[in-house]
Structures are given as C-alpha cells and as structure tokens.
Chains A and B, each alone.
Chain A
Amino acid sequence: MKKLLEISLGVVTSVGGFLEVGSMATAAQAGAAFSFQLIWAVVLGTICIIFLVEMAGRFAAVSHHTIADGIRERFGFNAFLWPLLATLLVNFLVMAAEIGGVAIALELATGIGFQWWALPVAFLAWLFLWKGTFGFIEKGVAVLGLVTLCFVVGAVMLKPDWGQVAAGAVPTLPEHDAANYWFMAVSILGASISPYLFMFYSSGAIEGQWDKSYLGANRAIAGLGMCFGGTIAIGVLIVAALVLAAHGIEQIDDYHQLPLMLIPIFGFWGFVLFVASLGIACFGAALEIGLQQAYLVAQGFGWTWGEDLKPRDDPGFSTVYTISLFLAAIPIALGLDPLKLTIFSMALTAASLPLTVVPFLFLLNDERYVGEHRNGLIANAAVIFIIALGFVLAVVTIPLQIFGGT
C-alpha cells in the first residue's frame, strides 16, 4: 500500500519535472506550425527520457550513488568537469527560461511587464528552497501541477481526428519550411530529454533513501510518470494545432498568443487555466532546477547536501541555489524575450546530451556499481541510440538555429 502511494506520488511528481516551459512552448509552436506532424518527436523524446530516468533511479537505488557522484568517481575529476560545466550552463539557461515563463504568466494575469516579475519570482522560489523540505517541494509541485491536465481535457473536448493524431506519431518529412520543422523537432527532443530531469531524479532517490526494494517502484514511476508528462505535452500540441491554426496563427513568436489556446474551449476560464498552468509548471521546474544546480556542485565536490537540512547545516549547498536563482533572474529582468530564450535553451540542451548520457553506458554496465542489476540488451541499445541521437543533435543544432530558428 505504502509503495502504491509512493508510486502514484512519484508519477505525479515526474509530471512536474517533465512539463515545463520548454515542453509547453515547443509543443505549442509545433502544433501551430505543423499540426499533428511532430507528435512523433514528443513520443520519441518521452521514450528516451523513460529509459534514462529508469536507469538513473536504478543506479541510485543499487549503488547508493547519484549520477553526478558516479560520473566523478568513475571517470575522475578532469573528465567530470565537462559534463559539470555543460550542465551548469544549460541549467542556468533553462532556469532563466522557467523564471521567464512564470513572469509571463504574471504579466498575463496583472498587465505588469514580465521583466518586473523576474526578481520577485526568483525570490519566492528561493524562499521555498530556503524554508521547504524535499517532500514539501516534491508534493507541492506535484499536486499543483495537476492543473496542466486541462490541456488533455481540452484536446479531448476539441474532438480531434484521432487517426490523424496517431499518424503524427510516425515520423514524416515536412512539406514546407524543412529547416524550421527540423529545428522544432530538435527543440522538442531537447525539452523532453533534459539532463536536469534524470540527474534530479537520482538525487531524489538518494534523498528518499531508496534501496533495491524500490527497483519495481522505480520502473513504474519512470514509465508511467514520463508517459503522463508526454501525454500532457501532446495535449498542448493538439490544442495548439486545432485552435491556433484555426485563428490563423501558424508562427508563435510571442507568448501573448498562447492564452488564446484554451479560450475557445473553456471561455474566460480557459485564460485562467492557461495562466495557472504556465505559472505553476514553470515555477515547479525553476525549484527543481535550482535544487539540481546545488545537488550537482555539492555532489561533485563532496560537500554536505540535502534539501531537508537547515541552510546553516549545508552552507555551501544553500549558497549554490541562492546564487543560481538570482543569476538566472537577471536576463529576464533585463528584458530578454522568454520565448526566444526557451527555444534557444531547449536546442542547447539537446546539443549537451552526449556529455551526460555517454557516462550511462559505462555506469549502468559496471558491476561494481549496479551488480546483477546492470543494463540488459534493450536498455543498452536505448542508451546507444540516445547517444547517437545526441551527437546528431549536437551537430545539427547550431546550423538549424541559424536557418530554422524563430
């Protein structure tokens, strides 16, 4: 019974991690521009992240190491520096985008320009980390994040042609704007396969003192949770395809176009639901990324860490999240466009994947860490596929950014 409760909590929590400004913005853009044609990218990204999250959880439960600990210990400090620096940079950009997402939600709600909200949002997020415990943050993000289900409800109420939706799950070549199509596919993959997600998940497994008895729960949480998140992203895509395209919006270049999505379905409440979904999903993600920055540095250098400790007892750890949150608020406070930043950081996330995923191939096959629970054939094939995908993405991201970016 306790395990069942834990699984359902984990499933709901992973939605909080999965659905953030990146997956919402990229899914909405893709739907508006290419109707259902890019659903395959969401599906592919979701399958990849299921494998990585399951492995991160299994690694933590069996070896009692987080992924960051494992990379440092297995490959040494000099090799660890590369994924460390890349992840810190990508997380910084993604966190700035999340703060921007909350700020846009607040601008939509109040009419006060988004840049004025950046610092208050960062402060509020900091306050949650400063005073909250891991459980409080996890459960709070999870329960409030359920509001994003409104996209799935909206998608169903719009009665899409499900045959066409299913057809979108199969990759096809675009009929127009090929560069833009592939750029969006890359951004969707970057938004779905986020390093912060699986690294955060492994830290959470250690915070929750997982052991081998959690392996089943881990598999269920990774599979169901990420599918749940992917379903909501597909919901966003379907709603955007049916509503925005019908209103003649094919190119989303401004956040102000987005609330329109839910209004034809729910009327005024559609506006409220959109603002709440955007604000809550992005705020939850900002909290998780803030924590992940601190986890990463503290684990990499071996400092005392833990969100359940008082800041006095882990001053290094709490200093890292404090500095990260306020630094990430700066670009938004200076007026950098949150949507452009989001799309840019999702593409960069995709490009950084090889650095964080290549270690999985070694860590999950090393008996000294995972013993008999090492990767099977399918899991290894998945990792190799993701690494190959990561290398392709790393090579094509920059040219696509130039030719296909918005």
Chain B
Amino acid sequence: MDLLRDILDKQVVDREQVKIGKVDGLVAELRPGKPPKIIAVELGSITLARRLGERPGRWMARLAARLGGRRHAEPHRIAWNKVRDIGVDIEFDIDVRETAIFDWQDWLRDHVIGRIPGAG
C-alpha cells in the first residue's frame, strides 16, 4: 500500500461513524534495514500548519496552546493499531468524545451555536 497516496488526507470516522477530521499527518517509525512502519495518524491544525512549513507549524502550535491549554499544544494522535476499516473513510476504534479532537466544536456548541434559539 502506498501510504502517502492511500491514507494521507483521507476522511477519518470513529466507531460511531462520526466524521472527526482528515488524516492530516502520518507518524512512522524508521527501522534500520526495513521499510518504515506507521504507528499513528495525526489530526488537527498544528499538523496541517506543519505541512505548510516549519514556521507556520510553530505559530499554530503556540496559538493552539494559548487557546486550548496544554491539552492542545501537540497534534491529536490516533494509534494505527486502532484501525478497523479502510474504505471510503478510515474507521478507527475510538470514541471521539473521549478525545480532545472536538473540544473546539464542543466549545462552539456550548458558548455560541447552542445559545441561538432553534439550534435543536
């Protein structure tokens, strides 16, 4: 499997089929004499900013830490051994509510969207 082609930038869903983001980055382990082994995927704005360059990556990490606290100073990681299925989306055996990935959407819901009448 060509990892960069087939995994990177794919839609990620959790075990409830909730769309939680894209595969923004891959974490691989370099092994001497053998092909590198993928150990996790990364999601979130810090990883995306790092793909644009070192400096945007640093800025985004600083911004994320300031807005979200220490929990958000590093990109979100999901271990590769949690993969359940690779199809149109990549399904991981996790529950997004137990991660920090949706913290900003939860904040939006609680402080902005949920306060507007008719939000459901």
Q: Contacts A130-B118, A303-B19; is A311 near B113 (CB within 8 Å)? A: yes
Instruction: Report the bound CA distance from A305 to B108 in whole Å.
Output: 15
Known: A130-B116, A312-B114. 7 other contacts (CB 8 A): A65-B88, A77-B22, A77-B24, A81-B52, A315-B105, A315-B108, A319-B113
B48 at the interface (CB under 8 A from A): yes
A301 at the interface (CB under 8 A from B): yes
Task: Write out, one digit per residue, whether chain A residues 298-324 have a CB within 8 A of any chain B CB (1) or not (0).
Answer: 000111110000111101101100000
In the complex, which residues of chain A have a beta carbon less than 8 angstroms from the beta carbon of B19? Answer: 302-305
B95 at the interface (CB under 8 A from A): no
- Interface residues of A, dominant DSSP: helix
Chain B residue nearest to A130 (CB atoms) is B118
Contact in complex: A73, B9 (CB < 8 Å): yes
Chain A residue nearest to B24 (CB atoms) is A77
Task: Write out, one digit per residue, whether chain A residues 57-88 have a CB within 8 A of any chain B CB (1) or not (0).
Answer: 00000011100010011001110110000000
Task: Write out, one digit per residue, whether chain B residues 40-76 have a CB within 8 A of any chain A CB (1) or not (0).
Answer: 0001000010011000000000000000000000000
- Interface residues of B, dominant DSSP: mixed
In the complex, which residues of chain A have a beta carbon less than 8 angstroms from the beta carbon of B8? Answer: 76
Which single member of B9, B10, B105 contacts A316 (CB below 8 Å)?
B105
B94 at the interface (CB under 8 A from A): no
Q: Contacts A64-B88, A312-B114; is A302 near B120 (CB within 8 Å)? A: no
In the complex, which residues of chain B have a beta carbon less than 8 angstroms from the beta carbon of A130? Answer: 116, 118-119
Chain A residue nearest to B20 (CB atoms) is A302
| Residues of chain A at the chain B interface (Cβ within 8 Å) | 63-65, 69, 72-73, 76-78, 80-81, 130-131, 301-305, 310-313, 315-316, 318-319
Smallest CB separation, B77 vs chain A (Å): 15
B3 at the interface (CB under 8 A from A): no
B12 at the interface (CB under 8 A from A): yes
Instruction: Report the bound CA distance from A302 to B22 in whole Å.
Output: 5
Q: List 9 tightest A-B contacts by C-beta distance, closest first.
A: A310-B120, A302-B22, A302-B21, A315-B108, A315-B109, A315-B113, A311-B119, A304-B19, A64-B88
Instruction: Report the bound CA distance from A77 to B10 in whole Å.
Output: 10
Contact in complex: A316, B108 (CB < 8 Å): yes
Instruction: Report the bound CA distance from A312 to B115 in whole Å.
Output: 10
Contact in complex: A78, B51 (CB < 8 Å): yes
Instruction: Report the bound CA distance from A315 to B119 in whole Å.
Output: 9
Instruction: Report the bound CA distance from A167 to B13 in whole Å.
Output: 55
Contact in complex: B120, A313 (CB < 8 Å): yes
In the complex, which residues of chain B have a beta carbon less than 8 angstroms from the beta carbon of A301? Answer: 21-22
Instruction: Report the bound CA distance from A65 to B9 in whole Å.
Output: 13
Contact in complex: A310, B119 (CB < 8 Å): yes
